[in-house]
Chains A and B, each alone.
Chain A
Amino acid sequence: EAGVAQSPRYKIIEKRQSVAFWCNPISGHATLYWYQQILGQGPKLLIQFQNNGVVDDSQLPKDRFSAERLKGVDSTLKIQPAKLEDSAVYLCASSPPWGFSTYEQYFGPGTRLTVT
């Protein structure tokens, strides 16, 4: 079974530029999460999708961050414009539908963003 795929693995941009990250979850996984992991900290949830609907985006900086999950499969996370404090690793995770080991989240390799 293929794991969670993310691209790119690394991205360097200047502040005020825009950037987009892509995530392809494990096939059949209804729930998709985007986490932000700042250096020296644990991951923090940005947004959670259930199929293509948003369940939790309470910690998403909506003035600059946006995310979508078209057709309940792939997802993109966008930052526009980027700030220096957005430098972090962005992790995508997915979990199966309710009733199928829903407690476990499977993580992708992450995208390391550096804003200069």
Chain B
Amino acid sequence: AQTVTQSQPEMSVQEAETVTLSCTYDTSESDYYLFWYKQPPSRQMILVIRQEAYKQQNATENRFSVNFQKAAKSFSLKISDSQLGDAAMYFCAYRSVTGTASKLTFGTGTRLQVTL
């Protein structure tokens, strides 16, 4: 079974600065998807960024980028030019591509605080 580990329960960043959230995972599969989801106090999970394991190029979405290290099974999220609206819980998630079962396996989350 796959596992996802987020070792940083809380992180803090000043507005306009850069912060990196860590995620490691364990799997025996060679192809899979990885995601970062944002969950604000409203509880709705919002997709931030995704990475297909077969792609060597790191995904980028505006101020959000990832550092995907497949051999190390590491998938960190970098937020540049942090904004107050970035404050939320961030979850790293794994999804298999084999078979019809396509559940997301989530980490325990990192609470990001953004200060002035």
Contact = CB atoms under 8 A, between A and B. Distances in A.
B42 A109 contact: yes
A91 interface: yes
B43 A89 contact: yes
B102 A31 contact: yes
- Of the four ranges (under 10, 10 to 19, 20 to 34, 35 or more), the interface on chain B belongs to 20 to 34
B33 A108 contact: no
Contact of B106 (A44, A103, A109, A112): A44
Given A42-B108, A44-B106, A45-B103, A109 B33 contact: no
B33 A103 contact: yes
A27 interface: no
B103 A48 contact: yes
Contacts of B106: 42-44
Contacts of A99: none
Given A31-B102, A95-B102, A107 B44 contact: yes
Nearest to B4: A42
Contacts of B101: 48, 55-56
Interface string A65-84: 00000000000000000000
Contacts of A44: 106
A112 B108 contact: no
Contact of B95 (A41, A50, A103, A107): A103
Interface of A: 31, 33, 35, 40-45, 48, 50, 55-56, 89, 91, 93, 95, 102-105, 107-110, 112
Question: A-B pairs with the 10 shortest C-beta distances?
Answer: A42-B106, A107-B45, A45-B103, A110-B43, A56-B101, A103-B33, A109-B44, A42-B91, A55-B100, A43-B106
